[in-house]
Amino acid sequence: MNSREYIESGILELYVFGKLSEEERQDVQQMAADSPAIRTEIAAIEKAVIDLSQSVSPTISSETYDKIRQELLGDDPKVVHLKQKTNWTQYLGWVASFILLLGAGLMYLKMNDSMNEQINSEIEKNKAEYSKMQQTVSTLEQKNKAVENMMEILRDPNNTIVALDGQAAMPSASVKVYWNRATQAVYVDAKSLPEPPQGMVYQVWALKMDPFTPTSIGLLERATASSSKMYRVDNTHEAEAFGITLEPEGGNATPTMEQLYALGKV
Amino acid sequence: MTQEELLEQIYKKDDKAFTLLYDMYAKSLFGVIFNLIKDREEAEDVLQEVFVKIWKNLDSYNENKGRFFTWILNIARNAAIDKLRSKDFNNSQKNLSADNFVHILDDPGRMINKIDTIGIHEFVKKLKPKCIQLIDLLFFKGYTQQEVADELEIPLGTVKTQNRNCINELRNLLKV
């Protein structure tokens, strides 16, 4: 019988329980002497039943402790308590140091394996977070720069600001046009205009009044829009008024006056 | 601490030896004794008796006799059984003879340690009823395999392996 079979037979449990015959007991001890696996198994079984029996034990009164102590060591329990305390403390110190040492050793061993792994994954995680943050920062920087640029453009002293009032198609509309006379650049702030219906687009016109000549200067297409709904349209040299109409996608050659959304004189 | 290191200390029979012996085994032995006697005061008397016996006979123990724990376990069980059989023990609690170690856990009047340091009570209750009976009879009450087979009406040849399976179950629960 090999040690595995011997262990599985259940004889070691009975050995620990003290339920074997003299002959069987000696047999177990012989086997244990030759096999570390059997010795380990015996210790584990013993630990299990000690834990079990401890757990179902009622509290032992301190009187009984004193009595037992006195009977075994033959000293006065009152004195003993003090003495015991010192010894116990010393003992505790050793145990604590031992546990600490053992713990430190174990930690060290474990650290080598698991800590490296942990640290590596931590680093990876931090790297990922860092690059995500960097992305966020650069996005914010870009946005900030865009806003600053826009502010520069709007604050330019050469600007003529034209307020376009809502017209029949949408009386509540209010659009501002920033026309830089020096550069001739035209920006349209169309924040108050609703999203155009499917297949339609807003078209911006530079108007001359006498005779009435509309010139298309661009479409407020989503593609050209920034999130602030500030659009840059084509430059223009001369305009007496600006108007915005709703037109089929792609724009129209001439404005559909029934769909005039906003209009303002320079 | 291995058994050898422990015994080396205990053999000195000094203060430290007593503390070690008591701290390591008193509760365990008391658990076994109480499970048989079921009366706390009587059980404490037996525990005292048992410690005196262990202390006096330490010189007669050697490792050829088996595990040290097994040796003191036998002393404790025998002392408790002797007490049960003695004339002066008023066995008025005969009806409780069906009790096993798990019932002790459920009885609030019996003052089981409230501090269940390793949470073992809950584990113990998870054992199969068959295992509770087996461990109770074989380990706590010290029945022979034949007695266990008769009591539980199982084939004699299976007592050993069934008990092994139950102890394995316990060890899994306790992670021993």
One-letter-per-residue 3-state SS of A37-84: HHHHHHHHHHHHHHHHHHHCCECCCHHHHHHHHHHHHCCCHHHHHHHH
* Residue A145, domain member (yes or no): no
Among A12, A32, A57, identify where a domain stops. Answer: A57
Q: Is B54's pLDDT higher than 90?
A: yes
What percent of chain B has pLDDT above 70? 82
Q: Is A220's pLDDT higher than 90?
A: no
Q: How far apart are CA A151 and CA B31, in angstroms?
A: 85
Q: Is A227's pLDDT higher than 70?
A: no
* Residue A20, domain member (yes or no): yes
Q: Is A106's pLDDT higher than 90?
A: no
Structural domain total, chain A: 2
Task: Report pLDDT digits (tens) over A22-51.
Answer: 999 999 999 999 999 999 999 999 999 999
Q: How far apart are CA A12 and CA B164, in angstroms?
A: 8
- Chain A, window 71-130: residues with a beta carbon less than 8 angstroms from a chain B beta carbon: 71-73, 83-84, 87-88, 91
Interchain pair B28, A54: CB under 8 A: yes
Reported ipTM: the value is 0.89
pLDDT of residue A171: 82
Nearest CA in chain B to A44: B176
Interchain pair A72, B30: CB under 8 A: no
Q: Is B90's pLDDT higher than 70?
A: no
Spatial contact of A251 and A234, defined as CB atoms under 8 Å apart: no
pLDDT of residue A21: 93
Nearest to B32 by CA among B68, B66, B76, B75: B76
Which residue of B1, B28, B136 is the best one to mutate when testing the A interface, meaning the one whose CB has the most A CBs within 10 A?
B28
Range of the domain at A37: 3-57
pLDDT of residue B96: 47
Place A90 in a pLDDT band, splitting at 50, 70 and 90.
low
Interchain pair B167, A47: CB under 8 A: no
| Contacts with A67 from chain B: Cβ below 8 Å | 48
pLDDT of residue A70: 92
Q: Is A222's pLDDT higher than 70?
A: no
Question: Which stretch of A57-61, A147-151, A186-190 has the lowest confidence by average pLDDT?
Answer: A147-151
* Residue A210, domain member (yes or no): yes
Q: Is A76's pLDDT higher than 80?
A: no
Count of pairs with CB atoms under 8 A, one residue in A, one in B: 166
Q: Assign residue A35 a region: left if phi > 0, alpha if psi is -120 to 50, beta otherwise?
A: beta
CATH number at residue A242: 2.60.40
Interchain pair B142, A67: CB under 8 A: no
Spatial contact of B98 and B38, defined as CB atoms under 8 Å apart: no
* Residue A37, domain member (yes or no): yes
* Residue A87, domain member (yes or no): no
Nearest to B146 by CA among A59, A209, A14, A131: A14
Candidates 1.20.210.10, 2.30.30.90, 3.30.2270.10, 1.10.10.10; correct CATH number of B99-176? 1.10.10.10
Cα B86 off chain centre by: 20
Domain ranges of chain B: 1-93, 99-176
Interchain pair A71, B19: CB under 8 A: no
Domain B1-93 sits in CATH at 1.10.1740.10
Task: Report pLDDT digits (tens) over B7-52.
Answer: 999 999 999 999 999 999 999 999 999 999 988 899 999 999 999 9
